[in-house]
Structure 1
Amino acid sequence: MQPSSRLKIGYLWQSDQSEMDKHLATNLHVQAVVQRLQAHEHTVRMVAIPDGKYKWSDDLKNWRTARLGASFEKPWFPPLESAVRRLQSTLHLPYINLFDSQRYAEACMSSLIGFDVLYERYWMMNYGGAFASRRLGIPLVLEVNGDIYEEYAQLGIKLSPPQWLAIDQVNRFIFHNAAHVIAVSEPLRQRLIKRWRLPEAKISTVHNGADLSLFVAPEIPANLPAFLRFLEEEPTTP
């Protein structure tokens, strides 16, 4: 990939709470990051699930329906999904969010062809971005805003051992697939390194997920991690 000061960034938010007109803390943070990136003259396209529908937008106001692949076009997919979900419910198998992540990956693949980098707001059971990154051959950067494992423990949320095993496997795939990880604090960075046995160079710390003042600086500072800097090198496609 050739060095470029202007990038085409796919912002991934695999969430059905992504209606940008709702003034929630998460929404406001996402909106601020996208707007500052655009102010820095990067092209940013968000793929999200507002109103439960897979869509993309270049301005967070006007949304277009993303084309899905096998999950929509193949007649065998809905019966397969129904059968697996029934089996999962009957046998009390762990939840792994496979079909929703597959659909989200398809939405990303049809909407982000030719983009330079994927930038994803992490959630522990969402891995459509990882699927899309592999299939498109585009590096993925994760923004991790908190330690969900610690939050569950503090809130007393109890999950079965098989469910935790499934979560561990999904997260190992997510973190090892990512080209770079952004943590919002140094303690969180250290926990992620230890928990997932990741190289220290793979994780950077940027407070609050994005130091927004850096995105509009005349030059990219040396400590601005991941998607604005590592692409200037020849990245290894995950």
Structure 2
Amino acid sequence: MLKILYHHRTSSKDGQAVHIEEMIAAFKSLGHKVIVVAPEGSQKTGFGVDDRRVAFLKRYMPRFIYELMELAYNWVSYRELAKAIKLHQPDCIYERYNLFLLSGIWAKRRFHLPLILEVNSPIFEERLRYDGFSLHRIAKWCQTYIWKSADFVLPVTQVMADIVLQYGSDPKKTMVIHNGINLHEFEEIAAVESAKMALGLHDKLVLGFTGFIRKWHGLDKVISMLANDEPDSRRHLLVVGDGPERVHLEAQAKSLNIQDRVSFTGLIERNEIPTYIAMFDIALQPAVVAYASPLKLIEYLAAGKAIVAPNQPNIGELLTDQDNALLFDPNRPGSMPETINRLCRDQSLIERLQKNARSTINEKQLTWESNAKKIIGLIEGFKRHA
């Protein structure tokens, strides 16, 4: 049995929390002990809800003060890490990367423990693009320092790995591990037609989307496409989730007089998602950032759905056009609706994609348990060479 100290600074209950919870559960299912060091009160909010304290600080506090507070948190987290290490004597530190979070590297060096770093996004570049920095040079130095100091870096896609390597990380200490799925959650989902009965969609061809609804997802294009259908069309858009764009999409559907062809579930609990995905005939991944490993995409595969997704490098790591998905050109206007229309007209293609989707999970080992086994192998390798 290994003892793994899991360190993170995530307080929101969203896709990040899913990753954290599932990896901890996978380590434990393999018989290992996990000690968690995280912000006080993390993971206590409802699913899909940001930590209100953090949101308040970001909104009302001057940016440079907020960034200084992020740096100051290192003294709090280092103290907690040191306490946990002394008490539990772990075999390694497993950390979810966050910008300005230096305490894991400090603890690794002070207590001579290997640190394995999971990297889901280039946070410096993200925040530079959307928020900007007051402590620009310090922020970039932190990202470089953390990525180069980790004993092993686990980016979630090859695209993300290429970004990590541009910062000077050692290729021999970098291994891509995509996000995963807990297959047990998708073993007993209802058949499509019986699942649709719950929402009165049993006679519809359901186009489905799950997740936090943002403008860049492009669901407005799907609604515009449905508006061009014949009045007796069977196509129906089911949006599972909530977000800032929902109100605009509802208004669009109403203005086009097709509000009866579009449904929004609002926020639902994590354990209900497989039930809703079961209703989909065609699952939509309309847009995704260039380096991400989308959880929803892996859920669609696990549920055996015909998928429409953008043809871009990170998606291509999991999907092959006309094999387990139908891919569209994200740079060509109209490509997504055209691709959806093509799939809707070809039931045999839908069935082929559905058949190949589920097998992708096993072929590419896209489960949290498989990920945990790979990481355990790394830890055991460190122990052998200690």
Give the TM-score taking structure 2 as reference length. 0.42
- Which residue of structure 2 lines up, in the alignment, with residue 202 of structure 1? 173
- Which residue of structure 1 lines up, in the alignment, with residue 132 of structure 2? 158
- Which residue of structure 2 lines up, in the alignment, with residue 35 of structure 1? 25
Paired residues of 1:102 and 1:131 also in contact (CA < 8 A):
no
- Residue 152 of structure 1: how far off its partner (Å): 3.1
1:123 partnered with 2:98: yes
**Relative to structure 1, is the Cα distance of residues 212 and 97 closer, same or farther in structure 2, using a 3 angstrom cutoff?**
same
- Which residue of structure 2 lines up, in the alignment, with residue 138 of structure 1? 113
- Which residue of structure 1 lines up, in the alignment, with residue 239 of structure 2? none
**Relative to structure 1, is the Cα distance of residues 11 and 50 closer, same or farther in structure 2, using a 3 angstrom cutoff?**
same
> 5 Å matches for 1:80-229?
95=68, 97-113=70-86, 114-155=89-130, 157-160=131-134, 163-194=135-166, 196-208=167-179, 211-214=367-370, 220=373, 224=374, 226-229=375-378
Q: Aligned residues: percent identity?
A: 22
SS, match of residue 207 in structure 1: coil
- Residue 234 of structure 1: how far off its partner (Å): 5.2
Paired residues of 1:106 and 1:132 also in contact (CA < 8 A):
no
- Residue 215 of structure 1: how far off its partner (Å): 5.1
Paired residues of 2:8 and 2:37 also in contact (CA < 8 A):
yes
**Relative to structure 1, is the Cα distance of residues 125 and 236 closer, same or farther in structure 2, using a 3 angstrom cutoff?**
farther
- Residue 212 of structure 1: how far off its partner (Å): 0.9
Alignment RMSD: 3.0
Give the TM-score taking structure 1 as reference length. 0.66
- Which residue of structure 1 lines up, in the alignment, with residue 380 of structure 2? 231
**Relative to structure 1, is the Cα distance of residues 184 and 171 closer, same or farther in structure 2, using a 3 angstrom cutoff?**
same
Aligned length: 181
CA deviation map 1:81-116 (0-9, x unaligned):
xxxxxxxx9x98x73743310220110111123110
Cα distance in structure 2, aligned partners of 1:192 and 1:123: 14
SS, match of residue 170 in structure 1: helix
Cα distance in structure 1, aligned partners of 2:382 and 2:109: 19
Cα distance in structure 2, aligned partners of 1:26 and 1:136: 28
**Relative to structure 1, is the Cα distance of residues 173 and 151 closer, same or farther in structure 2, using a 3 angstrom cutoff?**
closer
One-letter amino acid matched to 1:109: A
Unmatched runs of 5 consecutive residues or more in structure 2? 45-61, 181-365
Cα distance in structure 2, aligned partners of 1:125 and 1:236: 30
SS, match of residue 144 in structure 2: helix
Q: Which has the higher contact order (CA 8 A, sep 6+)?
A: 1
- Residue 227 of structure 1: how far off its partner (Å): 4.8
Unmatched runs of 5 consecutive residues or more in structure 1? 1-5, 53-59, 62-88
Higher-Rg member (1/2): 2
Paired residues of 2:5 and 2:93 also in contact (CA < 8 A):
yes
- Residue 134 of structure 1: how far off its partner (Å): 1.2
CA deviation map 1:101-152 (0-9, x unaligned):
0220110111123110000011111111111111111111111111223423
Cα distance in structure 2, aligned partners of 1:158 and 1:151: 9
**Relative to structure 1, is the Cα distance of residues 178 and 96 closer, same or farther in structure 2, using a 3 angstrom cutoff?**
farther
- Residue 154 of structure 1: how far off its partner (Å): 4.6
1:24 partnered with 2:14: yes
